[in-house]
Amino acid sequence: MRKLIALFMLAGILFVPAFANAQNAPAKDAAATEESPTAVDDEIVAEEQSFHQVIKEKFIEGDPLYMTPVLLCLIIGLAIALERIITLNLATTNTKKLLAKVEEALASGGVEAAKEVTRDTKGPVASIFTQGLMRYAEGIDMVEKSIVSYGSVEMGRLEKGLIWISLFIALAPMLGFFGTVVGMIFAFDTIEAAGDISPSIVAGGIKIALLTTVAGLIAAMILQLFYNYLVSKIDSLVNDMEDASITLVDILVKHKLTGK
């Protein structure tokens, strides 16, 4: 619940200033028209050079009513993705170094010393090692079963949040298409009311309608990049977990045979 509240707070911090600037844009444009021609020309040049200004104008042209849901999908999706990136990077463990410490602890202090090493190490690999070492007294078979079972639990934790990112990837273009369809309906209503198919009316209406589609596709593409990175990172962690678990079982078998 705290994470959800934090995500919405982040979305509010990022979105409210942009929306406020978008609402103040018409007033600024009206004030600019009262200035001298030179000042107006300078303002136009400045606006053309400002990427933020272009984005703000396109947001207004696309209608904030339909652009806002797409923007929220992007902001919340990015917040979840960044949280997952930080979590997964913190979960990354140097498995070779950990295995060397565990093997050294087994040789010097036995299983209890190895447990202390794994408990003091953060990450899913160390947690799996701890679960396996706790079943050492029950035999190697129980160690393997414990590692496999707890490995599935850790994998589920690593994949937490990906379903929401995939949802926003699918939802953003759909919201964009919805805004486009509604905009096209309004454009045809305008044509019907005017009683004439004027190129300016048709082009203006279609332009405004298609802006929501562009926004939805851009949001989906950005989130897709983060999603693919997260999937790749999780696959790498899972591979490390599997390789390290196999090596741990081999070390325990060797320790058991040496102990006999």
Is residue 116 domain-resident?
A: yes
Residue 26 in domain:
yes
* pLDDT at 225 exceeding the cut of 90: yes
pLDDT at 80: 94
User: Alpha-carbon distance 177 to 157, whole Å?
Assistant: 34
Is residue 53 scored above 80 in pLDDT?
no
Do 255 and 139 have their domain in common? yes
Q: How far apart are CA 189 and CA 183, in angstroms?
A: 10
**Structural domain boundaries enclosing 32:** 1-56
- Residues 120-144 pLDDT 10s: 888 888 888 888 888 888 888 888 8
Mean pLDDT (the chain) is 77
Same domain, 7 and 129: no
Q: Which of 97, 162, 105 is nearest to 123 (CA)?
A: 97
Angle at 236 between CA 114 and CA 73, to 5 degrees: 120
252 and 151 together in one domain: yes
Which pLDDT tens digit goes with each residue over 183-203? 788 777 777 777 766 666 666
Same domain for 112 and 17? no
Number of structural domains the chain divides into? 2
Is 188 part of a structural domain of the chain? no
Answer yes or no: is 108 within a domain: yes
Whether residue 37 is contained in a domain is answered as: yes
The CA distance from 61 to 25, in Å, is: 11
Confidence (pLDDT) at 20: 45
Distance CA 158, CA 53 (A): 39
Domain assignment present for 120: yes
Tell me if 11 is assigned to some domain. Answer: yes
CA–CA distance, 70 with 183 (Å, rounded to integer): 15
pTM metric for this prediction: 0.72
Cβ contact 205:183 at 8 Å = yes
Asked whether residue 33 falls in the same domain as residue 134, the answer is no
Same domain, 16 and 139: no
Across 96-110, average pLDDT: 86
Q: Are residues 2 and 47 in the same domain?
A: yes
Q: How many residues does the chain have?
A: 260
| 178 Cβ contact list (under 8 Å, min separation 6) | 66, 212
